[in-house]
Amino acid sequence: GCVLNGKLYPFGHIERTEDCYTCTCSQTEMGCCSLFHTPVAYDNKKCKVVFNKERCDYDVVEKKNPSKECFVYSRV
């Protein structure tokens, strides 16, 4: 298998790792892509970014009231 961040994964396609990546593991290499998109354009004075590991995505919420979501203009 392949080791990613200290965890052993089997050869073949890995739908989702613990760190929110999808990977392909072979005897010679391991290739991975993220399942999340990083927010890059939002009101960073009023809002903060929090990683949601259940959904494998970032939430952008108000700093003063994290129960309120903020509008995100762009993600990469």
CB 42 within 8 A of CB 73: yes
Alpha carbon distance 76, 74 (integer Å): 7
Alpha carbon distance 23, 73 (integer Å): 28
Rounded to two decimals, what is the model's pTM?
Answer: 0.75
Q: Which letter does DSSP use for residue 36 in this model?
A: -
Q: What is the CATH number of domain 39-75?
A: 2.20.25.590
pLDDT digits (tens, 9 = 90+) for 22-71: 999 999 999 999 999 999 999 999 999 999 999 999 999 999 999 999 99
Indicate the domain borders of the chain.
2-34, 39-75
